[in-house]
Amino acid sequence: MIRDITIGQYFPGNSVIHRLDPRVKIIATLLFIIEIFIVDNFLGFAVAGLCLGAVIAVSRVPLGYIVRGLKPILIILLFTFALNMFMIDGHILWQWGFLKITAEGLRTAVFMAIRLILLIIGSSMLTLCTRPLSLTDGIERLLSPFKKIGLPAHEIAMMMTIALRFIPTLLEETDKIMKAQQARGADFETGNLIHRAKSLIPILVPLFVSAFRIAQDLAMAMEARCYRGGEHRTRMNEMKFKGRDYAAFALLALFLAVIIVESRIF
C-alpha cells in the first residue's frame, strides 16, 4: 500500500516536461486545478483530460505507474461518489427506502469523481516530472516576492526538501519497527478501535525517538556543511526561462482560452 503512493514521488526522465522550469510547472498545475473546478460539463472535462493525457504522453511516465497512484485514494473516491449520488435532491431515478439516486446527484457524483481523478493525476504529474529540489527551488522563487511581508520563503522550501528526503527513510523505519514489535507478539490487526489505537504506541514512541535522533544528526551535519540559512547561498542549477518555457506558457494560455470559451458556450 505504502509503495503505491505516487504523489510526491519523482519519476526520473529527460522529457520536455521534465526539463521545463519548475516555476512554469507549478503555475500550470495551479491553473489546471482551478480549471477543473470551474468546468462543469463533459466537453470541458474531455478537453482537460485530453490535455493532461498529452502531457503524460510527452513526459513518458508509464500510465500504469500513474494509475497505481490512484489506488490509495480509491476509498475517498468511492465515498465522495456515494455521498454525492445519494445526498443530492432532484429528479429521482431510483429509490429504495430512504436511499435514492437523482439525476442531479448522479451528475454531480460523476463530475466530482472526474475532478478528483484529474486533480490527483494532475498534481502527481507535477511531482513525477520535477526533481524534488527543483520543485522546492521553484516554490522558493515564486514565494520570494512575499519575503518583504515576512514570509520565510527559503525556510519553507528547505523544510520541504528535508521532508521529501526523509519520508522514505521514515517509512522504512516504521516498517522495521512494526516488524520488530510483531516479532514480540504485537498485534495490529485485530481487536476493537481502542485496542488498535493502543497497539500503535509501541510503534509511535520508537518512531518519534527515531525522528528526533534524525533531526539532531541532520542539524549537526548541515551545520558542519556551513548551512546558515538562505543568505549568501548560490545554486548549482540556476533558473532561467528558456524557449521551451515560453512555449509552455503559450500552450497554457491556449488551454485556458479554450476552457473559458467552452464553458461560456455550453
Partner 1 sequence: MSIRVENLIHIYDKGMPTEQLALDNISFTAEDGQMVGIIGHTGSGKSTLLQHLNGLLKPDSGRIVIGGTDITEPGVSMVQIRKKIGLVFQYPEYQLFEETVAKDVAFGPKNLGLSQEEIDERVREAIELVGLDFETIKDRSPFDLSGGQKRRVAIAGVVAMRPEVLILDEPTAGLDPKAHKDVLAMVEEVHRRTGNITILVSHNMADIARLCDKIIVIDSGKLVTTGTPYEVFSKKDELRAVGLELPPVTKFTESLRERGLQLESTILDIDQAADQIAAYLKRKAK
Partner 2 sequence: MDNIITIENLTFEYTRGEESDPVKAIDNISLEIERGSFTAIIGKNGSGKSTLAKNLNGLLLPTEGAVYVNGYDTRDDDNIWNVRQTAGMVFQNPDNQLVSAIVEDDVAFGPENLGVDPAEIRRRVDKALEDVNMGQYKKKAPHLLSGGQKQRIAIAGVVAMKPKCIIFDEPTAMLDPKGRGEIMSIIDELHKEGITVILITHFMDEAVRADRVIIMNEGRILLDGTPRQVFRQEELIRSANLDVPLMVEMGAKLRERGIDVPADIITEEKMVEFICQYE
Residue 242: contacted member of partner 1, partner 2, none (CB under 5 to 8 Å, by partner type): none
CB 48 within 8 A of CB 6: no
Q: Closer to partner 1 at the Cβ: 11 or 255?
A: 11
The residues in 101-160 that bind partner 2, with binding defined as CB under 8 A, are: 131-133
Establish if 164 lies at the interface with partner 2 (CB under 8 A). Answer: yes
Contact 186, 202 (CB under 8 A): yes
Q: Which residue has the cell 457524483?
A: 109
Backbone angles phi, psi at 225, to 5 degrees: -95, 25
Phi and psi angles of residue 93, each rounded to the nearest 5 degrees, phi first? -100, -35
Residue with cell 551535519: 221
d(CA 139, CA 191): 44
62, 169, 191, 204: which one binds partner 2 (CB under 8 A) = 169
Q: Which of 7, 133, 125 is CA-nearest to residue 62?
A: 125
Beta-sheet strands, E only, within the chain: 92-96, 99-102
Minimum separation from the CB atom of position 221 to partner 1 (A): 18
User: Which residues from 189-248 bind partner 2, rule CB under 8 A?
Assistant: 213-214, 217-218, 220-228, 232-238
Min. distance of Cβ 12 from partner 1 in angstroms? 16
Which partner, partner 1, partner 2, none, binds residue 169 by CB below 5 to 8 Å per kind? partner 2
- Partner that binds at residue 193, options partner 2, partner 1, none, CB closer than 5 to 8 Å by kind: none
Which residues contact partner 2 by CB under 8 A? Answer: 10, 12, 131-133, 161-162, 164-165, 168-169, 172, 213-214, 217-218, 220-228, 232-238
